[in-house]
Amino acid sequence: MKSAARKVFQHGLRLLLVIVATLLVAILTFNLSLGDKQIDQAIPHTYAVHNPQFRRTMGVILGPDFIGGNNVEALINGREAFPAMLDAIRAARQSITLETYIFHSGAVAREFGAALIERAHAGVSVNILVDWLGNQLDDDLVEQMEKSGVQVRRYHAPRWYSLAKMNNRTHRKLLIVDGKVGFTGGVDLADKWRGNAQDPSHWRDTHFRITGPVVAQLQAAFVDNWLQATGGILHGMRYFPDLDPVGPLSAQVFTSAPGGGSESMQLMYLLSISAAERSIRLSAAYFVPDEAAVAALADAAQRGVRVQIIVPGEHIDWDFVRRASRHRWGELLRAGVEIYEYQPTMYHVKMLIVDAVWVSVGSSNFDQRSIAINDEANLNVYDEGFSRSQIAVFNQDLARARQVTLQDWNARSWHDRMLDACASLFGPQL
């Protein structure tokens, strides 16, 4: 009897282990394949960026439509971005909504934490959404904020009922104050964004201060993820006040997320590239293009468009990403695409400028993770004056970058070629 019972127990244990292993494999497989169907066919050059059809298409496909009357101010590096954000927070009277991927303990966290706590004590509604994976705040600071009335939520923190979503991160970088002033761009809340990119410990990045009717679209992007994370809805005049025109710019904010329009980011990039006739300037903190993007960029260069791409050089936080990126440069370089590696420090800028009239900025990287897996939000601006101002900044960065030629790429050692190829196999997750 004991022998039979032991066999039954052993059989049951093996069955349980098989079930657990199968469940873990299923969760891992689902997470690694997270995302909607992506575009795998070429988009032909049908109309130019300057053609009204381009803006009409972007408004209809990406949504919401473009809205006029806005002003957008570029903030270069943390030296300009953090004071502007803190000034807006300290002036808040109704609401503060903040969503960010990285919020790390340090001087920046303490300064922002103190400002948010003070406003919460003053009766301002303060709602913070941080990514569970990117968040590294001290528990003491979180406790102080929550005791003051700040609502702090972690996006997709692991729960037994949500393990299938643990690879889906919010990468959005949004700050909206009183529903009237918004910020987005590449800057997260950590000390490495402080200063003015003066050394390898301080990153090069650009953020943007936004006013005008398009701020409501920025707020809607936050509210969407707040609802996903908490089940609660933020609405009313406190968050969505009447917004009068304040400037000359026409703009839109659009979002992407798995299961809810993840193809929007890919569409934006591919449609923009296919509509280019003169120039494409791309600042890409993490540049790991898929086959469709490589083909689109190469085709643009071959039809006479000058394509310039700035990526990080040796100062990069994920060398694995740099290797995966470099493996894919051959076809681009042969087509005439110009690739430059920024030299002084980590280059974290995320910007696309097409034909000196179309500019897209925000949280998205030019990689498959941003396109298919992360939650992202971008601001698109259709304006020649704003475009020219961003081209000037792009050219300043270009002057501090080293061009990589086809000869350089071909001269890589066999060791580097092998490591680059291996890293590229993980491209869909980078």
Mean pLDDT of 283-287: 96
Q: What is the share, in percent, of the chain residues with pLDDT greater than 70? A: 86
Mean pLDDT of all residues belonging to the chain: 89
Taking 80 as the threshold, does the pLDDT of residue 215 lie above it? yes
Question: pLDDT tens digits for 296-321?
Answer: 999 999 999 999 999 999 999 989 99
Look up the CATH number of the domain holding residue 333.
Answer: 3.30.870.10
Give the list of residues 6+ apart from residue 408 with CB closer than 8 angstroms, or none: none
pLDDT band for 3, please (50, 70, 90 cuts).
low
Peptide bond before residue 64 is cis, with ω within 30 degrees of 0: yes
Least confident piece of the model among 25-34, 240-249, 252-261, 361-370: 25-34
Same domain, 223 and 289: no
Cβ-contact 62, 286 below 8 angstroms: no
DSSP H helical ranges for 158-317 = 215-230, 263-275, 291-302
Domain assignment present for residue 15? The answer is no
Residue 282 lies in a domain: yes
Highest mean predicted confidence (pLDDT) among 16-25, 39-48, 164-173? 39-48
Active-site annotation holder among 355, 375, 383, 397: 355
Catalytic, 242? Answer no
Q: How confident is the model at residue 23 (pLDDT cuts 50, 70, 90)?
A: very low
Whether residue 283 sits in one domain with residue 335: yes
Same domain for 188 and 101: yes
Shared-domain flag, residues 230 and 257:
no
Among 370, 190, 378, CA closest to 287? 370
Last residue of a domain, one of 215, 247, 279: 247
Q: Which of 228, 247, 266 is a domain's end point?
A: 247
Residue numbers of the domain that contains 180: 69-247
Examine the domain organization and report whether 50 and 81 are in the same domain.
Answer: no
The number of angstroms, rounded, from the C-alpha of 212 to the middle of its chain's C-alpha atoms is 22
Domain annotation covers residue 8:
no
- Tell which residue, 20, 257, 30, 259, has the closest CA to residue 163: 30
Residues contacting residue 191 through CB under 8 Å, at least 6 positions apart: 104, 106, 107, 108
In angstroms, what CA-CA distances link 265 with 183, 362, 371? 19, 11, 6
List b or e across 168-183, with b for residues whose CB sees 16 or more CB atoms inside 10 angstroms.
bbbbbbbbbbbbbbbb
One-letter-per-residue 3-state SS of 199-236: CCCCCECEEEEEECCCHHHHHHHHHHHHHHHHCCCCCC
Looking at the DSSP assignment, which residues form a beta bridge with residue 176?
97, 182
CA distance 223 to 246: 23
> Do 240 and 319 fall into the same domain?
no
Catalytic residue, from 205, 350, 375, 397: name it: 350
Residue 44 token pair: 């032909």
Q: Is residue 13 part of a domain?
A: no
Q: Which of 173, 192, 202, 315 is catalytic?
A: 173
Q: Above 80 in pLDDT, residue 27?
A: no
185 plus 301 within the same structural domain: no
Residue 40 predicted with pLDDT over 50: yes
Comparing CA positions, the residue from 416, 216, 217 lying closest to residue 325 is 416
Report whether 176 contacts 85 (CB < 8 A). no
- Where does the pLDDT of residue 37 fall: very low under 50, low under 70, confident under 90, or very high at 90 and above? low
One domain, residues 43 and 85: no
In a domain, 2, yes or no: no
Q: Mark whether 231 and 273 lie in a shared domain.
A: no
The Cα 360–Cα 70 span in angstroms is 15
Distance CA 352, CA 338 (A): 15
Active site residue 355: yes
Do residues 321 and 426 touch, judged by C-beta distance below 8 A? no
Q: Do 76 and 212 lie in a common domain?
A: yes
How much is the pTM?
0.90
Question: 167 falls in which pLDDT band (50, 70, 90)?
Answer: low
Q: Exactly one of 171, 180, 202, 315 is catalytic; which is it?
A: 171
Do 47 and 107 belong to one domain? no
pLDDT higher at 132 or 322: 322
With cut-offs at 50, 70 and 90, classify the pLDDT of residue 21. very low
The pLDDT value given to residue 25: 42
Q: Is residue 27 part of a domain?
A: no
Point out the least confidently predicted range of 4-13, 52-61, 286-295.
Answer: 4-13
- pLDDT score at 51: 96
Both 176 and 311 in one domain: the answer is: no
Helices 107-121 and 139-148, interaxial angle, to 10°? 20
Residue 79, exposed/middle/buried by CB under 10 A (0-12, 13-18, 19+)? Answer: middle
Q: Distances from the Cα of 31 to the Cαs of 366, 372, 427, in angstroms? A: 20, 11, 14
pLDDT of residue 245: 98
Last residue of a domain, one of 247, 275, 290: 247
How many separate domains does the chain show? 2
Q: Catalytic residue at 178?
A: yes
- 1 within a domain of the structure (yes/no): no
pLDDT digits (tens, 9 = 90+) for 255-283: 988 865 657 889 999 999 999 999 999 99
Catalytic residue among 178, 205, 224, 383: 178
| Catalytic member of 205, 299, 348, 420 | 348
Active site residue 11: no
Going from the C-alpha of 372 to that of each of 170, 196, 215, 342, 426, the distances in angstroms are 12, 32, 25, 26, 14
Burial-class residue 263 by CB neighbours within 10 Å (0-12, 13-18, 19+). middle
Q: Which two tokens stand for residue 366?
A: 């030019």
